[in-house]
Every structure is written in C-alpha cells, then in structure tokens.
Amino acid sequence: MSSDDSSLMASIIYYCQEKYFHHVLQAANVGLERYSCDPVLQFFRAYGVLGEDRIHDAISELESLQSHPDTSLCAVIALLYAHKCCDTIDAEAIQELDSSLKEIRRTASGMALYYASLFLWFMGHHDKAREYVDHMLKVSSGSKEGYVLKGWVDLTSNKPHVVKKSIKYLEQGTQDTKDVLGLMGKAKYFMTQQNFSGALEVVNQVTLAYSNFLPALVLKMKLFLARQDWEQTIETGQRILEKDENNIDAWQILAVHELVKEGNTDRAADRVRNLIKALETGEPQNPNLHLKKILAVSRLCGRHQVVHRLVSGFLERTFMATPSCALVATELGYLFILQQQVKEASLWYKEAMKLEENRLAALAGSIWCQILQGQLEEAAHQLEFLKEVQLSLGKSEVLVFLQALVAAKKQKLEQEATALLKEAVELHFSNMQGLALSPEYFEKLDPLFLVCIAKEYLHFCPKQPRSPGQLVSPLLKQVAMILSPVVKVAPAMMEPLFVTAQVKFLSGELENAQSTLQRCLELDPTFVDAHLLMSQIYLAQGNFAMCSHCLELGVSHNFQVRDHPLYHFIKARALNKTGDYAEAIKTLKMIIKVPTSKAEEGRKSRGPSVRPSERASILLELVEALRLNGELHEATKIMQDAINEFSGTPEEMRITVANVDLALSKGNADLALNMLRGITPKQPCYTEAKEKMASIYLHTRKDVRLYIGCYMELCEHLPGPHSSLLLGDAFMNIQEPEKALEVYDEAYRKNPHDASLVSRIGQAYVKTHQYAKAINYYEAAQKISGQEGQGHPVPDG
C-alpha cells in the first residue's frame, strides 16, 4: 500500500471516530475508485451509510461482506447494531446473527479482530473494543496497527489512569515507522497532557510526511488554539480553507474567533454562514454533528441578533429534518431563553419534553420559563420534585440557579439565594477543570449563563458606587471573579464586558469602569445601556457637564435612549446635584407615571417600563429633591406612598433606610432610631442600618459607647471579616488604634489575603507610631492587590 493509501485509510478512521459520516462515505468511495472490490473500503462505506441513519441501505451493504475473512466479524457486529435500530425489529435475523457471531469469533483472523475492534471503538464500546484488540495482538504476535488501535482506545477512555497508559501502545505502534494514525494519536495524547510543544513536534512530522493529510492540519489549528496563540490558529485555519473551502472545523474556529476576539458583527455573520453551509453540504444527514459544531457559536452569539437568527434557523432546519432529536429542541429552547425570548423558549422545551431523550434538561428549561413568566409556585413545586432526581443523577448548575431565582423572587432570605448562586457557579466551573482553550471550552464556559448568575447577584449588591474608604461588597467581589475568566478569553463579548463595568462602577473603580465601557461602545456605539452607565459614572465623579454630554451622545447614536426611563432619572439626579431642584422634581414626576414591569420579565415589553428596584430609586430621588427644595410635607407624602407600595417586597428595607434620612432632616433622631431598631439581622440591609444607627449615636447623640455598641452587635449577629473591619474602623474613628489593632489582627488571622484589611492594619500601626510594622503591612497590601482577581479557572495553555 502506498503512502497515499495509508493516509487515505487514516483519514477514513479519523472521520469515523469524529462521526463525520458523509466524509467517511466520500473517502471510502475515493478508495473504491482505485480498488473497486476492496471489502474493507466497502465496510467503511456501509458504516458511513449507517451513520446517516439509512439503516436498510446499510444492512444491504453489510450482508454482502459477511463472507470475506477480514470483514466477516465487523460486518456481523454492525448488522446486529443496524437491526436493533430498525423501527420493526427482526428477532429471527438477530438470533441468526448472534449464532453467526459466536461461530466467526472462534476462528477470526487477526485482521478480522482488528476491524471488529475498530467498529466497537467507533460506537463507543471501549471495553469490548479493548477485548477484541487484545485478542488480535495475541493472534498476530504484536501487530503495529494493533498497538496503535489499542493506544487510541485507551486515549479516548473517560478514565484518566487508562489514558496515561495509551502512550506506551502508541509508541510501540509507531516504532521505526511513520504510521499516520499512530502519530496523530501521540499528538492527541500530548495535547491531553498539556504538552503542547511535544504535540506540535509530532504534528509537524505528519504534515511533513503527508502534506495532503488535512486532519493533521486541523489538529495543528486546534493545538495553536489550546496554546492560546490566536494568530497562528487563524493562519492555519486559512491554510486549511485553501485546501478545502468547506472545512467544518476551520469555519467553526474562525467564527468563534470573530465572536470572542474581534466582535465584528458582519464578519462574524459571514463566518457563521460559511460554517452552516459547510455542515449542510458536507454532512447533510448528521444532526448530532450539526449540534456539536454549532454549540460553541450558539453559546457565544450574545447581542449579535443576525448570528442568533442564523443559528436558530439552522437548528430549526436540523430539527425539522430529524424531528426525533430532543437535544436540538432543548438547545433551541436554551438559545431563546438566554435571549429572554420566553414564549419561543417555552415552545421548544415543550417539543423536547414530548421526546424521552435528555428530558431533565428540557424540564429545567421549562421551569426557567415558568419563573420568568411569574409562575413561582408551580416552578417551586417542580424544583422540589427534581431535588430527589438530583440525588441520583448528580446536581445540575442550571437547577441550582433556578432554586436561587425562586428563593430571590419569593422574597426569601438573601443569604439562601446567594448561597445557591455560589453553588451554581462552583458546579459550573467544576465541569471545566483542566480544559484547554477550544470550542468545547467556550461551550462549557457558556458566558451568557454566567451573566445571568452575575445579574442575579447584582440584585443583592449596593445600588450606588462605593464611597472612598467604604468596604467593597463581598458579593461584588464574587461577581468580578465569576466574570474574570469570561472577559479574559472573550474580550469582544458585550454582555460580560458591560456587567463587569457595572461591577467596577459599584465597587468605586470609576476610571476602570469607564475604560471597560469605552470598549463596549467601540464594539457597538448604539448600545443604550453603556451610554447610560457612562453618564452615571460622570455623575458620580461630579462631572455634570460630561454627564449631560454623554446622555446626548447616546441619543445621537441611538434615538431610543430618550425612551429609556433611566435616561430621565440620570438627568434628574444631575439636576438635583447642581441645585436645580424644581426641574429635577418636574422630570421625576414625569417618569413616576412609567409602569412597573411585573413578573413576566422574559416578555418583550410593548413600551417603556421600569423594574421595581428602579421605581424605588425614582421615588427616593424625588423625596430627596423635594426635601432639598424645602417641600418637606410633599416629601413625607411621597415617602409614605413608597412605604405603602413596597411593603413586603425586597425594596422595603431600602425605603425604610431612606425614611430614616428624611426623619433626620426634620431633626427627629428618636424616630430615625426607632425605625432602624426594627431592622433585624435576617434582613439584607441590617449592616447598613447598624452603620446609620452608629452614625446617629456618634454625630447627633455624641455617645461613643452606643456608637461602638452598634458594631459590637453587628459582629455578634453577623460574624465575619466584613463586620470585624467595620468594628476596627469604628475604633479608629474614635482614636482608639490599639483596640482597632486587636480586632484587625483577629480578622487577619482568618483572612490573611485581604488587601484592604492589611492596609488598615498598616494605618493603625501609623496611629500607634509603629512605623516599621506599618511599612511592612503597606508593602504586603500592595503585593496582595497585584494578585487579586484570580478566582475561577481560565483555560490551561
């Protein structure tokens, strides 16, 4: 057999293993043009036909191969599989094939065992494949191709200790020879062990010896991607397309690159179109491959509506061609729900649930739709039932996330919802441990799902940016850690970038937030939310002229900005800050009339609406404007309306805390203290209430003992580093640095990697004139700050 023939056979086996059934069929036909009666090539052609679900055609081809010694065994095993796939099962034929299998197996030659092992490996029966190849190695006294196959069987095992043994067999199979399949196996092995330079060396041997062997170039492209070398990845992808303009893998990776690194909507859409064309022409009857190759793009399409339409249209065509494929219907449901298109998502999840396969994922999606449509009781009931299922199947991050959604929306404790969100994140990232950068990595990263989790966290975070000296909310730090690996590998994805900017804004990192938003606006100058957040940053910086300029710039790029209630709210806040209270009151009274969005968050609204939290902010800003304008009676009336409207909702405590400020402005400290005493440790704003109470005791009552007592109570009811820091800060405020040091030291022992804590210890040492110690702690704080932001796994490479 010539080198061309060996590379043809290696291509066929590679395509079989990758489930490229039409490619198998075409490559086998190319071989049969040269060797018209070759039974092995005929077997591979029959395997391709079987993979395309043309069962009766495959049976017809396989039956003619039972008489040849090399293919008799694999043909019988394949026939057994084919008959079991028929709508009407021929029990008599299966019985005859079973008897025939026992007979043939007893006298099978080495090559017959080899092809039988190959088929079993293709079908995912690793243990049976290993049994057959071991028998083959005994019969044929250690055939090199037998060792190569055994290496591949072990390499593709899901048991790490078995994978590690594969290299021994691959080495034996490639000793003194340049067996293409064996060298490809070695390269793959080195990739699984993160030895990218070793893998590249082996792949280069293959491309040098077999310049037309495309699978080696595809592996090389994937290898450069695993090394996070995008430049060479793209260059290799272009080389592949010069040889094969419809190469599925090349178009997939070029599409992913455009979505995560470049963000050019038109080019991304072109590359996705080419990927879809390659799949529909190159693998016309292969729904599982269609789904596998489009999944990464589906997970990355984000705000790209053209790409979203291309992907959903392609998946719909795939489903219509194979209406029994529940996985495709489930993916369509997921694709729509991540776009908040709940009606469409619900229809596809129902379609998937009619079919048995993958029913749990479809049921989870259906529950998600119920939550977004406000059917919380029904969703809670279903989730309770699924808790039992998870005990046997293992926990699902989506189901845990849905439990968090229900906990948050049914006004349960913040701690329960955030604990569930944390668990969902940990489950999500645990599925990615050890994965190198690849389409599979992006599929499992699922950036928009992480954005959903991040947005849920933000409901429990402060609504205004952190003041200088104030601690960053631990929840904001958690959101930053969740989004960090996403922004690192997908810097052109708008949603994670925007939420990261929100987190930086609320954490008080205003300049960092601005630079992140600038990147958002470079990617899409019409992005309304980015313009509005940019104007809020200028407002927080006290730059009212730039705040107004930014709002108008947003309008010039997208006139719909003016329809957004937040546009008018920011404008009113700026007017308040510049002392134009009358105009601020007029603007706020106008947007108070905007309806509040209800539970159907997923439904596309027909006109402007505000979320309950935004309405609460508008009312409180109006109270503040009226107070500053001297209209205390009207301010009190609006406050009472807010109290009535938000009673029993998550915003209730926020309204109460604002009411305290109103009471203080009227000189009624006793009323303010009484309101604050009504806030319990189980309520979200307990810490804020204690801080306000302490401030009243210190500045109004001038009572240092009660001031410190507030923070002592906080530490008692909510023990943790955050409460300890507040107590330490309180001691520093009343010039008792020695007591502050005691508290800080205790907190430091529990949390030695908190830069803000270490810095505070340094400040306390300065106050006690221990300057050498102070310098040591300041240096340590700087060192820790440089290491922050490392949390969840980023791809190895």
CA 233 – CA 738 distance, rounded (Å) = 59
CA 250 to chain centre: 23
In this prediction, what percent of the chain has a pLDDT beyond 70?
91
Greater model confidence, 789 or 463: 463
CA 442 – CA 794 distance, rounded (Å) = 11
Three-state DSSP state, 88: coil
| pLDDT digit string, tens, across residues 693-706 | 999 999 898 999 99
Q: What mean pLDDT comes out for the span 155-159?
A: 93
CA 521 – CA 643 distance, rounded (Å) = 38
The first and second tokens of residue 730, run together, are 């309180």
Integer angstrom CA distances of residue 143 from 88, 113, 180, 606:
41, 12, 15, 71
Most distant CA atoms of the chain, gap in Å: 102
Work out the angle at residue 618's Cα, subtended by the Cα atoms of residues 615 and 624, and round it to the nearest 5 degrees: 145
Which residues make beta-bridge pairs with 596? 610
Predicted pLDDT of residue 603: 45
Predicted pLDDT of residue 506: 93
Predicted pLDDT of residue 306: 95
CA 689 – CA 710 distance, rounded (Å) = 10
CA 643 – CA 19 distance, rounded (Å) = 62
Q: Assign 778 a pLDDT band (cuts: 50, 70, 90).
A: low
pTM: 0.85
Nearest Cα residue to 543 out of 517, 511, 566: 511
Q: Say whether pLDDT at 609 is over 80.
A: no
Q: Which residue has the tokens 């997208």?
A: 558
Poorest-pLDDT segment among 258-272, 287-301, 395-409, 437-451: 395-409
DSSP string, 150-178: HHHHHHT-S-HHHHHHHHHHHHHHHTTS-
Mean pLDDT of all residues belonging to the chain: 89
Q: Assign 412 a pLDDT band (cuts: 50, 70, 90).
A: low
Q: Assign 756 a pLDDT band (cuts: 50, 70, 90).
A: low
| pLDDT digit string, tens, across residues 26-79 | 999 999 999 988 999 999 999 999 999 999 999 999 999 999 999 999 999 999
Nearest Cα residue to 123 out of 174, 94, 160, 84: 84
The secondary structure of the chain in percent helix, strand, coil, rounded to multiples of 5, reads 75, 0, 25
- Per-residue buried b or exposed e for 678-694, using 16+ beta carbons within 10 Å of the residue's own CB: ebeeebbbbbbbbbbbb
Work out the angle at residue 30's Cα, subtended by the Cα atoms of residues 28 and 34, and round it to the nearest 5 degrees: 105
What are the chain's domains? 569-666 (1.25.40), 720-797 (1.25.40.10)
| 668: exposed, middle or buried (Cβ count in 10 Å: 0-12, 13-18, 19+) | middle
Q: Say whether pLDDT at 591 is over 50.
A: yes
Cβ pair 546, 554 in contact under 8 A: no
| pLDDT digit string, tens, across residues 315-371 | 999 999 988 889 999 999 999 998 889 999 999 999 999 987 557 889 999 999 999
Cβ pair 11, 48 in contact under 8 A: no
| 575: exposed, middle or buried (Cβ count in 10 Å: 0-12, 13-18, 19+) | buried
Rg for the chain, CA atoms, rounded:
32
Q: Which amino acid is at 708?
A: I
Which residues make beta-bridge pairs with 184? none
CA 493 – CA 541 distance, rounded (Å) = 27
Predicted pLDDT of residue 728: 84
CA 708 – CA 541 distance, rounded (Å) = 32
Greater model confidence, 774 or 156: 156
CA 560 – CA 557 distance, rounded (Å) = 9
Q: What mean pLDDT comes out for the span 472-495?
A: 94
Predicted pLDDT of residue 774: 58
- Cβ-based neighbours of 188, under 8 Å, separated by 6 or more: 155, 199, 219
